[in-house]
Chain A
């Protein structure tokens, strides 16, 4: 097979993004990882909402205090927002690898001109703005296809390009409420206020968007035409709840908060381990597994307790079983118990926080984390790719871009601006390398 060619599959594909928050940037992250040239179009003369965290930058002291309380959204490198906090946001830098940054305000006439020139050189455009914003900017697919009929445009508003919720604004956490997932994942005996916020919809929509674009590129190879893909966050998430939805449409049963319960397995839950806020997840289906669990735990009294001897009995008495197991598991280090249970054929997993994940021998053996050096931010480890291909080694090709880092090469080399035209945009404040104080007051200083 010496003659087979295995380049990254999206080599030669250019992607532009006008995206905010997490879901849109996640799509382009995934496209960039597999070879696409991703150009992030972002203004410097105003703040792109909820992207690089420029809205309200916190001080070093607040960054540290929040992180110590376990709130990490403002966890700057070494807790230091620096002079350029927009280059130091963990939320942004977690997805921005393999992207180039071009400063451009598509709402300004000059920015529109540059953006339309970029679209001529672009295969894919990804946006996840509120639909009315795109309409006001007059950058809908009908307009852009006139510029480039081969363009594939992914539009991913929260709820759709039409319908009563068309212009509703929401993060993944709000979308997960609006499709029934927040309710489902709560404590069975608790309230949704206790559930905490999750951004599951962003995680799913990101991959679904990248999948849809790849399929549309494949179709374009044959047909020669691009297309618009409308993929509301909410609708991309609905199939994840398929069995719960069918239980209602088929049986009339309204799903109740599930917590850690399983339909047929018990024990099935998260049990305390030794230490503060340390836990182990254990999932037992068969009687044989249950006996093995009891042996490892040294809890023979549970193995012979008639409430727990069969799977059906355990399910009937699962609350009592959970209560009886907790004192046994809490003697153990979570990782030691995890490996001992796996060796005994019991499905178990320690509950791992981010430090545990960074120390995972499995991820280390597979080379999951990658170290990147970002100018001014330094060398740090970042999560790598979530899929491996046996014969196509792949690594992150460039670190997250600084705001406007690639202005010159994009305006001059790709879009054909003259040096004078480019300098004029810089002089007008439409192209730059940071947010001026008038846009982002230095309140954190």
Chain B
């Protein structure tokens, strides 16, 4: 059966997380993705963690994960002959993903206006911190600062402490995904007979449109003039993250429609007769809130995090255990569903990776291929380019 992106040709001229994640989404589902790297390689190759913590551009977890199923070509875009070669590569692909500073591609003679003149079908995606226009266009941005400016960072953490960044490179993964969505949309239009386009993806704007609370609360602020604030821990009785016998679980019991059943479960059916039961949690009396919370905590601590979740799920409550990476990788649910891919690599040996996000009934995903060695495919890609040069364009 065909892959989802069978026949699609993508050139990835991008580094680190956002652009490479966009490229990976196409590569993992069947596109031919050529990753153009500078002679020293994508900086992600030099960022840890590396295998056994020994610096090695072929053994970076970040790089290996983000570049599965791609081919690597090394090419010096700073040099004129490198750019000439790049131009020829671009003419042969459907989608280009780049992440240089605004104006850099145009300065190299590779701006959208130039590229699209002979290739109106081209889809070019440019991923930058703040976008191709506006007063902050040339500002620097990183995961931390873009979450701070654009995303809900002010709301992460405890009201009694400093605000927290969200985990890992989530803003850059999200922006890469948003850019990939733009590319897929533009490609669909091309296939239906329309033109390509230049997709301008700012990480900042992706954060401003982030549906992790940002758009919801910005709408609420627009309605009321009030802003969201970090809350002290334990603000909502019997609701949220609490300790268990072996870690933590985040369960919604207090004030929900399952709350009476939860009170039965924890051996406090007497509380069901309290007058506050009929009121929203926000107006519960302190005494009632303390009774609920104390009984709930006592019940939670007697169970493991997974037991607490299983018992409350059986009653229809929302919840989840707070797992570590070790818990996650050993969890029988995920293991049984086959979410982990074992991928062999000369620098690491076989290692388990997070695999597919999608199970597709008509276009199942291929077995994964490891990330390329630096410049591993330079020879074959340039030879194919040469061969095509001698044949008419097709």
Contacts and interface: CB of A to CB of B under 8 A. Distances in A.
A200 B64 CA distance: 24
Interface in A239-267: 239-251, 253-255, 258-260, 262-264
B318 A174 contact: yes
Contacts of A164: 332-333, 336
A407 B219 CA distance: 26
A71 B323 contact: no
A279 B208 contact: no
B318 A170 contact: yes
Contact of A207 (B161, B178, B186, B321): B178
A219 interface: yes
B250 A177 contact: yes
B241 A238 contact: no
B193 interface: yes
B43 to A, nearest CB: 11
Given A141-B361, A202-B211, A361-B135, A351 B163 contact: yes
Interface in A182-220: 182-187, 190-200, 202-204, 206-208, 210-212, 214-219
B320 A255 contact: no
Given A62-B282, A70-B228, A345 B140 contact: yes
Contact of A5 (B195, B225, B282): B195
Contacts of A210: 181
A217 B383 CA distance: 34
B282 A65 contact: yes
A6 interface: yes
Given A56-B280, A208-B177, A345-B140, A6 B189 contact: yes
A380 B64 CA distance: 45
Contacts of B214: 203, 354, 357, 383
Contact of A246 (B65, B139, B221): B65
A173 interface: yes
Given A241-B168, A241-B325, 17 more contacts: A67-B226, A172-B212, A177-B249, A194-B161, A219-B2, A235-B334, A242-B65, A244-B168, A249-B352, A253-B49, A347-B140, A349-B144, A351-B154, A360-B149, A362-B136, A381-B222, A390-B200
Interface stretch (A38-46, A88-96, A311-319, A416-424): A88-96
Interface in A374-397: 380-392
Contact of B188 (A56, A218, A253, A366): A218
Contact of A200 (B212, B333, B340): B212
A191 B351 contact: no
Contact of B322 (A4, A177, A227): A177
Interface stretch (B75-83, B229-237, B386-394): B229-237
Contacts of B228: 70-72, 353-354
B209 A240 contact: no
A355 B227 contact: yes
A433 interface: no
B351 A246 contact: yes
Contacts of A268: 144
Contacts of B135: 361-362, 365
B199 interface: yes
Max chain A CB contacts within 10 Å: which of B201, B217, B234, B360? B217
Given A90-B216, A362-B136, A387-B178, A229 B358 contact: yes
B178 A386 contact: yes
Nearest to A285: B142
Contacts of A254: 324-326
B146 A349 contact: yes
Nearest to B364: A227
Contacts of A206: 211
Interface residues of B, number: 165
A217 B21 CA distance: 21
Contacts of B355: 238
A194 B159 CA distance: 8
B337 interface: yes
Interface string B54-77: 000000011011100000000000
A83 B317 CA distance: 29
Contact of B148 (A159, A226, A258, A281): A281
Contact of A10 (B4, B165, B185, B322): B185
A198 B166 contact: yes
Contacts of B322: 177, 182-183, 192
Nearest to B234: A193
14 contacts: A94-B211, A95-B215, A193-B242, A221-B188, A222-B191, A242-B66, A243-B62, A279-B148, A353-B227, A354-B227, A362-B135, A382-B222, A386-B206, A391-B198
A128 to B, nearest CB: 13
Contact of B25 (A34, A174, A211): A211
Interface in B239-285: 240-243, 248-250, 252, 255, 257, 280, 282-283
A95 B142 contact: no
B295 interface: no
Interface stretch (A74-82, A102-110, A111-119, A294-302): A74-82
Contacts of A251: 49, 51-53, 61
B201 A387 contact: yes
B177 A358 contact: no
B104 interface: no
A68 B156 CA distance: 18
B157 A187 contact: yes
Contact of B241 (A93, A162, A193): A193
A69 interface: yes
A194 B134 contact: no
A238 B337 contact: no
Contacts of B336: 163-164
A173 B250 contact: yes
Interface in B124-170: 130-136, 139-150, 152-170
B148 A363 contact: no
B197 interface: yes
A259 B164 contact: yes
B161 A216 contact: no
Given A238-B339, A362-B136, A223 B181 contact: no
A194 B225 CA distance: 26
Given A10-B185, A206-B211, A215-B5, A245 B328 contact: yes
B40 interface: no
A184 B325 CA distance: 9
Contacts of B130: 362
A185 B186 contact: no
A281 B197 CA distance: 34
Contact of B226 (A75, A174, A190): A75
Contact of B360 (A91, A184, A227, A380): A227
A187 B161 contact: yes
B109 interface: no
Interface string B280-301: 1011000000000000000000
B320 A239 contact: no
B327 interface: yes
A189 B355 CA distance: 32
B329 A249 contact: yes
Max chain B CB contacts within 10 Å: which of A94, A203, A245, A391? A203
Contact of B218 (A211, A230, A354): A354
Max chain A CB contacts within 10 Å: which of B145, B229, B360? B145
Contacts of A71: 228-229, 231, 282
B216 A357 contact: no
